[in-house]
Amino acid sequence: MYATFYNNLFWGFFLAFFDLRISGISITPDFVGFIIIYNALDKLAQQHDNYNKAKPFALILIFLSLPNTFELHNQNLLTNPIANQNLFLILLSQIQMIMSILLIYYICGAVSALANSNGLAHLHNESHNLWLVFLATSAAILLTTPFTLTILLGNNTPLIILYIILLLVHIAFLFFLRHAQRQLGESLYPGI
């Protein structure tokens, strides 16, 4: 019953996490991914209230991710130092990361609670551990970015390493959503 909505979560996060561009225009726009996520959360809210609590963050991310559709001059961290970046876009990305932390917190919390209620200890532990790794990596990026703009000016290495780790965490999160889809997609306990 809920498998389709977990699948929609997967594809929504896939679009939101991975940025493919042609001539500076995103062919996998983040805002479309967040629209899909919001709609999936709306349906999954019948299964657990934490999905309902995640919806406002998905909605905010729809609008915050609109500027990411087009790459602005000097926006690419791989070709331009962070000191040349638009400060507004850097702050916007920090706010997006905070909203993403909260979104994933509620999703992991819902999966963890549903797994616990259904006697799925492995999925419960996977949800908890993935949340902690995501939180630690995101917090490290949030804390490192201001130093990269000042003290570490010209040295993007710490930030690049953290973003590579975050990419791996995003991939793990997608696998986690597939696992949740298989385990909870046909849950007999809506509203838990």
User: CA dist 67 to 61, 105, 112, 182, Å?
Assistant: 11, 24, 33, 35
**pLDDT at site 138:** 93
**pLDDT at site 108:** 97
**pLDDT at site 69:** 77
Length of the chain: 192
Residue at 15 is within a domain: yes
Domain hosting residue 30, numbered range: 3-184
Residue at 189 is within a domain: no
Residue at 60 is within a domain: yes
Residue at 192 is within a domain: no
- Cα angle, residue 179 at apex, residues 164 and 6 outer, rounded to 5°: 95
Residue at 66 is within a domain: yes
Instruction: Determine the Cα–Cα distance for residues 57 and 114; give it in Å rounded to an integer.
Output: 21
Instruction: Determine the Cα–Cα distance for residues 167 and 148; give it in Å rounded to an integer.
Output: 19
In which element (H, E) is residue 68 found?
Answer: none
Q: Where are the alpha helices (DSSP H) in the chain?
A: 3-17, 30-44, 49-64, 87-117, 121-149, 157-184
**pLDDT at site 116:** 94
Residue at 190 is within a domain: no
Phi-psi region of 74 (alpha: psi -120 to 50; beta: other; left: phi over 0): left
Residue-wise pLDDT for 2-39, tens only, equals: 999 999 999 999 999 887 777 767 778 889 999 999 99
pTM of the model: 0.86
Instruction: Determine the Cα–Cα distance for residues 83 and 77; give it in Å rounded to an integer.
Output: 10
**pLDDT at site 192:** 46
Residue at 191 is within a domain: no
Block mean pLDDT (10 aa), the chain, length 192: 93 89 76 96 95 97 86 55 65 92 97 94 96 95 77 68 91 95 74 47
Number of structural domains in the chain: 1
Q: Which two tokens stand for residue 18?
A: 């991975």
Residue at 74 is within a domain: yes
